[in-house]
Amino acid sequence: MASKSRTTKSASRAAAKAAALKISKGSKATVKTSAKPGVKTIAKTPAKPGRADAPSARKALVSQGRSTPAPRRPKQKVAISHHREEDFKADGLRAYAHYRDLGIADATHGLARAHVIRMLPPCNPQEVSKLHTHAVDFQMVYVLKGWVKSYLEGVGETLMKEGSCWTQPPKIRHMILDYSDDVELLEVILPADFKTVELST
């Protein structure tokens, strides 16, 4: 009697397995299996033919937040400048100085300007010592010869001698107080063209 009961149970199990296999083959869902035991599998229903998946909200947000790329500057050229006395001209920002342009503005299409500045002697504080600002991205001055005394906001009065170098952050209030008769300065500025504002002291 026990033998007959075991045979019936085995037959029932086989029939149940066959029925389960038939149902899984006929189903539209496909299941990804994992090689690791105990990891849950996720059923994925394939998209209907001819219908593209809708973009996620995350993708839509990213695409909306993108800004247009900045326009590219023209290719820079090589600038070579050799010393010539005739290149010092009274065509710069200050009437009390002569400027030797080094060709950087043309070579960089306005990205930067570099020139050697000679202050005309003697220094006249009434003309020279005027508080002002420059709307620049970068400005650096290097003393090639002589000396210059300047005032920088937050720093105070400073004597710059041959070999001295300093930067002037954008729109910092500053002015020249005095300079030697033989002073020469190298100045590098970005961009090449910028606005200068004279301030009342």
Q: What's the predicted TM-score (pTM) here?
A: 0.65
21-76 pLDDT tens trace: 555 555 444 444 444 444 454 545 555 555 555 555 555 555 566 677 777 889 99
List the one residue out of 169, 163, 185 whose CA is nearest residue 93.
185
Residue 162 burial (CB < 10 Å; 0-12/13-18/19+)? Answer: middle
For residue range 85-112, what is the model confidence (pLDDT) as tens digits? Answer: 999 999 999 999 999 999 999 999 999 9
Enumerate residues 6+ apart whose C-beta is below 8 A from 24. none
Strand order in the sheet with 147-152: 156-161, 147-152, 174-179, 132-135, 195-198
